[in-house]
């Protein structure tokens, strides 16, 4: 009855180990919906990587609210990616020594050190993302302030780079130059979205720096072939042209079947873009052929025997209605159909790790 993520366990674990082996200092990122796997499962898998002696000492979460989800399932350090702000509630004292804060403004550094003089932290340097981060000048001031707080544990500089086509090397070189100038004892760079070649080149150019790649997507979701998403067919209704169905009292444009499948808005199943070319001429041509998209049916992420099917109406909360025109093979109640999802926006009813 479920929207199910089925994981080929041996293949997925082999991929995780491969990424860990080729990225020393790896910082697995577990945030949001846990890339579809849940935060708890990613924390356990991170522990598994460490237990297998990979160089993984820190797990990153997105927010302070996510700390409890991972802290009991993973024994190492936890980096919080969202920068600390004065309005963040103090971390549970039992956890405080394991938490590494991200500090992205000089004033916040001052406030954090006042509240927690022995805080562990990384200083975030601004990048072309323009999301969070200090300028070189602020970092310099931060270095001066930190020299007056010997109890603070500064774990490095953090950079969040855009996902981009071109090279990041010029930008990272500029930032590391400004980091060295800040004289804040920063010798570790926590980085995102660098290619393996860029990491290699940076390690060669900056031998005094240790690079720690924060990786989420290409770690957990990097081998899509190990993952399969399916929904259950819950009901099948034959319809004739003109039959009424659904919440909105739509009529079937031609004969076929209305299918009810598991998965709806609560799982993150959304409407897809209308199919094909939507120019007036194209719509007229589709209409002439009796195309269903021309009468307002939109593409769904469900496919049956390799053919992507149309929603009969917008997804419901936990189920969706599809229209399968006459002539196509009709699945039976209980059959599984494939679903294409955005893993970072999907909540599965069940996650089955096989093997
Ligand atoms: C989400 C995030 C990452 C990981 O990004 P992926 O594209 O999933 O690898 C790294 N750093 C920061 C600051 C992030 O917010």
What are the Cα distances from residue 273, in Å, to 87, 251, 277, 278, 300?
A: 40, 21, 11, 10, 9
CATH number given to 9-220: 3.20.20.10
What lies within 8 Å, CB to CB, of 19 at 6+ separation is 26, 215, 218, 219, 222
Count of CA atoms in the C-beta half-sphere (13 A) of 76: 23
Residue 231 Cα to ligand 1 middle (Å): 29
Is 90 exceeded by the pLDDT of residue 293?
no
Q: Is the CB of 331 under 6 A from ligand 1?
A: no
Every domain of the chain and the residues it spans: 9-220, 226-354
Query: What are the counts of helices (DSSP H) followed by strands (DSSP E) for the chain?
Result: 9, 18
pLDDT, tens digit, 9 for 90 and up, residues 30-74: 999 999 999 999 999 999 999 999 999 999 999 999 999 999 999
Is 70 exceeded by the pLDDT of residue 289?
no
27 beta partners? 214
Is 90 exceeded by the pLDDT of residue 286?
no
Residue 81 Cα to ligand 1 middle (Å): 8
Residue of 191, 214, 218, 345 best suited for mutating to test ligand 1, as the one with most atoms within 8 Å of CB: 214
**Which helix (H) or strand (E) segment is 174 a member of?**
helix 169-182
Distance CA 261, CA 277 (A): 27
Q: Is the CB of 263 under 6 A from ligand 1?
A: no
Helix (H, G, I), strand (E, B), or coil: what is residue 329? coil
The proportion of the chain whose per-residue pLDDT surpasses 70, expressed as a percent, equals 93
Tokens encoding 80: 């919080």
Q: Is the CB of 304 under 6 A from ligand 1?
A: no
Structure confidence at residue 271 (pLDDT)? 77
pLDDT, tens digit, 9 for 90 and up, residues 120-164: 999 999 998 889 999 999 999 999 999 999 999 999 999 999 887
Structure confidence at residue 166 (pLDDT)? 80
Residue 252 Cα to ligand 1 middle (Å): 45
Q: Can you tell me which atom of ligand 1 is nearest the CA of 215?
A: 9
Structure confidence at residue 214 (pLDDT)? 98
Q: Is the dihedral of CA 191, 210, 81, 86 positive or negative?
A: negative
Fold of 226-354: Lyase, Ornithine Decarboxylase; Chain A, domain 1 (2.40.37)
Predicted structure pTM score: 0.92
Surface-to-core class of residue 219, CB atoms within 10 Å of its CB (0-12 exposed, 13-18 middle, 19+ buried): buried
């Amino acid at each position: 009855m479920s929207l199910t993520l089925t994981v080929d366990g041996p293949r997925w674990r082999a991929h995780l180990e491969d990424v860990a082996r080729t990225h020393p200092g790896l910082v697995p990122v577990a945030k949001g919906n846990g890339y579809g796997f849940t935060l708890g499962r990613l924390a356990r898998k991170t522990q598994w990587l460490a237990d297998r002696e990979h160089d993984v000492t820190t797990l990153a979460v997105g927010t302070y609210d996510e700390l409890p989800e991972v802290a009991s399932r993973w024994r190492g350090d936890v980096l919080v990616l969202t920068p600390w702000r004065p309005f963040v509630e103090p971390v549970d004292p039992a956890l405080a020594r394991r938490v590494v804060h991200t500090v992205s403004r000089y004033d916040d550094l001052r406030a954090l050190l006042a509240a927690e003089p022995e805080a562990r932290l990384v200083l975030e340097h601004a990048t072309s993302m323009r999301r969070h981060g200090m300028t070189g000048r602020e970092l310099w001031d931060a270095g001066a302030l930190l020299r007056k707080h010997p109890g603070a544990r500064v774990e490095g500089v953090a950079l969040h780079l855009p996902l981009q086509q071109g090279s990041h090397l010029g930008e990272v070189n500029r930032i590391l130059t400004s980091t060295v100038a800040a004289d804040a004892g920063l010798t570790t760079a926590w980085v995102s979205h660098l290619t393996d070649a860029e990491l290699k080149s940076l390690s060669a150019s900056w031998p005094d720096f240790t690079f720690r790649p924060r990786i989420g997507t290409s770690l957990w979701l990097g081998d899509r072939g190990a993952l399969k998403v399916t929904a259950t067919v819950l009901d099948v209704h034959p319809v004739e042209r003109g039959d009424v169905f659904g919440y909105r009292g739509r009529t079937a444009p031609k004969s076929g079947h209305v299918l009810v499948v598991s998965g709806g808005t609560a799982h993150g199943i959304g409407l897809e873009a209308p199919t094909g070319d939507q120019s007036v001429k194209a719509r007229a041509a589709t209409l002439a052929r009796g195309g269903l998209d021309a009468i307002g049916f939109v593409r769904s992420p469900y496919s049956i025997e390799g053919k992507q099917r149309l929603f009969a109406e917008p997804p419901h909360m936990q189920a969706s209605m599809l229209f399968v025109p006459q002539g196509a093979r009709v699945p039976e109640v209980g059959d599984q159909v494939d679903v294409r999802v955005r893993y970072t926006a999907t909540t599965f009813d069940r996650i089955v790790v096989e093997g």
